């Protein structure tokens, strides 16, 4: 990236470096946990409010350097930094630290998304389609944004940060930013053109052009007021001993509606032997790396590998599949049920760990389906009193609902479904071993099932 930083801005960031070095690794969205921060390179610093008032406000794109630096240029993070003489108690969770030198000496800096006033500055800039420095605040001209909506930060831990405005809009601000087209803007806009009601249409977005490359920094969408998160809803119904199959079936129908609309809106592809080869190779390589990282996978490696070889053999025999754009990271937490009972799908960014170009590749729709089936397993394992067949029944209902809309039941292609569900479970094993060891038994229970040639 080309640096777009004035000398005074660079000096300001230099004075913040010791504070950011300690603060960044503690953030849920920081991807470099476990590795020391060795330095920063400012990419762009934009002043959003005039200096000298009670509040200073900076939009910052900052490249963070960590070892091994020779193998990686460093991730770029988006920060909204506020500076006040002192923080009120309500902003204590947002504290970054107290500045002792530089232009902000004597002031307290903090994550300004937690503060109503700075968050409302972003909304007003989107409403008026402002241009500030290299930032471009853009809005769908057919949609209006009322002024003076009160902002509140969502407390849920996630890989990005979200602010709700008056129960009308929700702004998702991407923390780790990469160049190129962001699927979380691209796909909802494509679905809006198709009139698909299952995904809230983007109202506005923030982007920047750096080194002649586009960056999507934030997306504003309608807020589904009173909606229940699919994960929380499933756990709530489990705790009450209530059946969830009707919801699972409706969610399957909603998923199929989104897939059908995406296939109309964007190009599809045919996957034959030449295309399946790299896909299967990738699955096999991820399995080999996972076995090295998590030895508990070792006894199941041969059985798991058979899921991939079976798929390769079908392709070699002339079988083909259709690939299209998909959600890419579908699970119960990416779904909202409105008070009306309608389901919506959200967060089309895909798996953040995968490169953006890979996230935008056409995939078999079963990739999303496998993710949701794994999510039912997770929900069942999270509840101490889940009925033995709860996950099985939800999985079956979801697939049946999907078939009602698409005309294709995912279970009628068991080799493809097993391969993608295996790939997802292997990914989960590595993730849980690294980040949540107590959860490791959840994907391992699926690994034992998937390692046999007929897991169902």
Residue 280, both tokens? 């299967």
What is the percent of the chain where pLDDT is above 70? 96
pLDDT value for 202: 98
Q: Report the C-alpha gap between 243 and 290 in whole angstroms.
A: 35
What's the pLDDT tens digit per position in 219-266? 999 999 999 999 999 999 999 999 999 999 999 999 999 999 999 999
Encoded tokens for 85: 């003489």
Rounded CA-CA distance 204/207 in Å is 10
pLDDT tens-digit map of 379-423: 999 887 788 899 999 999 999 999 999 999 999 999 999 999 999
The 10 Å Cβ neighbour count of residue 409 is: 16
Residue 398 structure tokens: 């979801």
Average pLDDT over residues 138-146: 95
Q: How far apart are CA 227 and CA 243, in angstroms?
A: 19
Q: Average pLDDT, stretch 328-332?
A: 96
What would the mean pLDDT of 328-345 be, rounded to a whole number? Answer: 96
- Which tokens go with 13? 């960031």
Q: Which tokens sit at 354? A: 């995968």
pLDDT of 387 reads 85
Count Cα atoms within 13 angstroms, Cβ side, for 421.
30
Query: Per the structure block, which two tokens stand in for 427?
Result: 């990914």
Confidence of residue 456 (pLDDT cuts 50, 70, 90): low
* Over residues 298-311, mean pLDDT: 97
Q: 78 forms bridges with which residues in the sheet?
A: 61
- The pLDDT, as a whole number, for residue 386 is 81
C-alpha triplet 124, 222, 342: angle, nearest 5°: 170
pLDDT band at residue 155 using 50, 70 and 90 as cut-offs: confident
For 145, other C-beta atoms within 10 Å of its C-beta total 19
Q: Which of 5-19, 156-170, 225-239, 278-292 has the lowest mean pLDDT?
A: 5-19
3-state SS, the chain, equals: CCCECCHHHHHHHHHHHHHHHHHHHHCCCCCCCCCCCCEEEEEEEEECCCCCCCCEEEEEEEEEECCCCCCCCCEEEEEEEEEECCCCHHHHHHEEEECCCCCCCCCEEEEHHHCHHHHHHHHHHHHCCCEECCEEEEECCCCCCCCCCCEEECCCCCCCEEEEECCCEEEEECCEECCCCCHHHHHHHHHHHCCCCCCCCCCEEEEEEECCEEEEEEEEEECCCCCEEHHHHHHHHHHHCCCCHHHHHHHHHHHHHHHHHHHHHCCCEEECHHHHHHHHHHHHHHHHHHHHHCHHHHHHHHHHHHHHHHHHHHHHCCCCEEEECCCCCCCHHHEEECCCCCEEECCCCCCCCCCHHHHCCCECCHHHHHHHHHHHHHHHHHCCCCCCCHHHHHHHHHHHHHHHHHCCCHHHCHHHHHHHHHHHHHHHHHHHHHHCHHHCHHHHHHHHHHCCCCCC
Least confident segment among 1-10, 46-55, 177-186: 1-10
Calpha distance 141→89 (Å, rounded):
39
* Mean predicted lDDT score pLDDT of the chain: 93
**Cβ atoms within 10 Å, residue 154:** 14
**pLDDT reported for residue 358:** 86
Partners of residue 206 on adjacent β-strands: 137, 218
Confidence of residue 70 (pLDDT cuts 50, 70, 90): low
């Amino acid at each position: 990236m080309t640096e777009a930083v004035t000398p005074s801005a660079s000096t300001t960031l230099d004075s913040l470096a010791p504070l950011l070095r300690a603060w960044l690794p503690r953030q849920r969205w920081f991807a470099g946990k476990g590795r020391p921060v060795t330095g920063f390179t400012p990419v762009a610093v934009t002043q959003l409010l005039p200096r000298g008032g009670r509040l200073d406000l900076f939009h910052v794109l900052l490249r963070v350097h960590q070892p091994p630096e020779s193998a990686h240029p460093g991730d770029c993070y988006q920060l909204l930094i506020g500076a006040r003489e002192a923080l009120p108690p309500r902003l204590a969770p947002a504290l970054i630290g107290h500045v002792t030198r530089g232009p902000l000496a004597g002031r307290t800096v903090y994550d300004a998304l937690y503060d109503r006033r700075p968050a409302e500055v972003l909304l007003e800039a989107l409403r008026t389609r402002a241009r500030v420095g290299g930032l471009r605040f853009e809005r769908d001209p057919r949609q209006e944004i009322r002024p003076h909506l009160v902002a509140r930060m969502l407390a849920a831990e996630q890989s990005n940060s979200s602010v709700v405005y008056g129960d009308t809009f929700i702004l998702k601000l991407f923390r780790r930013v990469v160049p190129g087209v962001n699927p979380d803007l691209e796909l909802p806009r494509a679905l809006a053109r198709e009139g698909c009601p299952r995904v809230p249409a983007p109202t506005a977005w923030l982007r920047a052009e750096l080194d002649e490359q586009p960056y999507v920094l934030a997306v504003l969408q309608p807020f589904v007021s009173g909606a229940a998160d699919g994960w929380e809803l499933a756990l709530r119904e489990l705790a009450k001993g209530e059946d969830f199959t009707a919801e699972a079936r409706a969610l399957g129908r909603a998923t199929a509606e989104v897939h059908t609309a995406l296939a109309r809106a964007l190009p599809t592809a045919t996957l034959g032997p030449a295309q399946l080869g790299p896909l299967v190779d990738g699955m096999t390589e991820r399995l080999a790396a996972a076995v090295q990282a998590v030895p508990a996978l070792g006894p199941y490696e041969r059985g798991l590998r058979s899921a991939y070889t079976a798929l390769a053999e079908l392709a070699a025999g002339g079988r083909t599949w259709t690939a299209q754009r998909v959600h890419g990271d579908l699970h119960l937490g990416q779904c909202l049920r409105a008070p009306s009972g309608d389901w919506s799908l959200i967060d089309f960014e895909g798996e953040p760990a995968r490169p953006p170009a890979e996230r935008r590749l056409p995939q078999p729709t079963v990739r999303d389906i496998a993710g949701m089936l794994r999510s039912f397993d997770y929900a069942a394992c999270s509840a101490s009193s889940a009925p033995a067949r709860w996950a099985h029944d939800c999985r079956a209902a979801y697939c049946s609902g999907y078939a009602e809309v698409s005309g294709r039941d995912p279970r009628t292609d068991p080799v493809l479904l097993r391969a993608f569900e295996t790939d997802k479970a292997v990914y989960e094993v590595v993730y849980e071993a690294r980040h949540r060891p107590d959860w490791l038994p959840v994907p391992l229970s699926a690994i034992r099932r998937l390692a046999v040639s007929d897991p169902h």
